Structure 1
Amino acid sequence: MTIDYAKARSAMVEQQVRPWDVLDPRVLETISRVPREAFVADAHRALAYADMELPIGHGESMLKPVVEGRALQALELAPGESVLEIGTGSGYLAACLGYLAREVLSLERHADLADAARGRLMAQGIANVDVVTADAFVWNTDRRFDAICVGGAVDVVPERFVGWLRPGGRMFIVRGRAPAMEAVLVTRTGEDVNAPRIESLFETGLAYLAGAAPVPHFSL
């Protein structure tokens, strides 16, 4: 059976993403333009536009389209801004960020996923996304970004992530412990990384970033 991916993409936008209160015209246009099927493994391509997470290897998954849409909308990216993505995964969300912003630096801890994402981005002619193989909890930089998009959950928001934001910069991240996880928008209000403004966006559940899961508590 031949799948009409353009039709499936339009249906995803109208039946999944828009009804989930993603109404920003630039975000909807971006999701309508980026071919999600080009970032999905052959074995799962028929499910590229389904309302579900898709496995990408190493026990990790591609986010649901609705979560990706809400993340893109929450960041309110301007065309001249720089973005840090933590967790490249398939490269799809990096591609969307690249359409909305001036430049994207995307970190992926698995070299094979990073290589595959680079190839997919190159095949789509997306030249303003730089994929780096690195663990966000080891990697360091003096750069500061207008926005950060985190593709996995954390128990608590890491100060090091907030420190990579410019004052006034914002970060989309999912925090908490299942079943009480929530997506939040973290805004760095000044030089102090310990006092960001945190706005709750919606409840959801994601797998933890490696190194960001809750520390087990043992009792006798």
Structure 2
Amino acid sequence: MTLPAATRIDPTASTQEWDEARNLMVDDQLRPSEISNPRILKAMRLFAREACVPPAHQALAYADVSLPLGEGRVLLQPLVTARLLQAANPLPGQHALVIGAGTGYSAALLASLGLTVTALESDTLLCQQGQQVCAATPSIHWICGPMPLGDESRAPYDLIYFDGAVPTLPAFCHTQLAAGGRVVGLIHKAGDLSELFVATPAPDGTNGFILTRLSEARCPLLPEFVPPRSFAL
């Protein structure tokens, strides 16, 4: 993965310098792009995103780019995360399921916003890293296991949050979402291009969803949701 040129910060920077980089991210990337929820802005000013970034890319922790986590996974660029959180409208006391929790950035932000979070991650190494990042946050429960079935044991969820792209809404969203809940994430379009969405259950009581498409973003499919290749004879 080739990373574009971006403002870097020395990984050995002082706490004050990391704080300044975090504030610059909010003021230069998020606020000018219509991220206006003060709770989300505050959370992203306070949580140390650099803790979720592999050492090789830690200098770009607050750059306007997605960062590789290995095995085709990425830590989404800060603006995409902020847009997903704002679309999700997370409220204190609610329960969220994060699919593809990676190194724990989105799960930690949701927990800091007052939610109880179930973080589901299939990659063992990423799951271990995420657990370490979130070790001091008891409101996050980590599960290392397959993503396509969600987590029925703690359902229903007020929010199902995909921290990556999927080709379509998985079936478990119908059965594990609480009444009045919502699903947010990215729907894959082509190549590495995806589209942010928020989905709410259809009011007619069927298993359908009303899908509202938001802005486009570059994000790969979560590996476990890549459709199998079909071969023509």
> What amino acid maps onto 1:152 in structure 2?
G
- 2:152 alignment partner in structure 1: 141
Q: How does 1:1-220 map to 2 (within 5 A)?
A: 2-3=12-13, 4-122=17-135, 125-142=136-153, 143-178=155-190, 181-189=194-202, 192=205, 194-219=207-232
- Distance 1:41-1:176 versus aligned 2 partners, 3 A rule: closer
> What amino acid maps onto 2:170 in structure 1?
P
Q: Deviations over 1:68-114 (max 9, x none)?
A: 00011111111010000001111111100111133000100011211
Cα distance in 2 for residues equivalent to 1:99 and 1:211: 28
> What amino acid maps onto 2:119 in structure 1?
S
Paired positions, count? 218
Cα distance in 2 for residues equivalent to 1:57 and 1:126: 25
Instruction: Please tell me the root mean square deviation across aligned C-alpha atoms, in Å.
Output: 1.9
Cα distance in 1 for residues equivalent to 2:173 and 2:93: 21
Q: How far is the alpha carbon of 1:217 from its aligned partner?
A: 4.7
Cα distance in 1 for residues equivalent to 2:70 and 2:206: 34
Task: State the percentage of identical aligned residues.
Answer: 32
Cα distance in 2 for residues equivalent to 1:137 and 1:168: 22
Q: Secondary structure at the match of 1:106?
A: strand
> What amino acid maps onto 2:185 in structure 1?
I
**For structure 1, which segment, 45-54 or 186-195, has the greater mean C-alpha deviation from structure 2 after superposition?**
186-195
CA contact (8 A) 1:145 1:166 kept: yes
> What amino acid maps onto 1:20 in structure 2?
S
Structure 2 runs not aligned, ≥5 long:
1-9
- Distance 1:89-1:140 versus aligned 2 partners, 3 A rule: closer
- Distance 1:176-1:57 versus aligned 2 partners, 3 A rule: closer
> What amino acid maps onto 1:96 in structure 2?
L
- Distance 1:140-1:130 versus aligned 2 partners, 3 A rule: closer
Cα distance in 2 for residues equivalent to 1:44 and 1:13: 19
Structure 1 runs not aligned, ≥5 long:
none
Q: TM-score, normalised by structure 2?
A: 0.86
Q: TM-score, normalised by structure 1?
A: 0.91
CA contact (8 A) 1:84 1:148 kept: yes
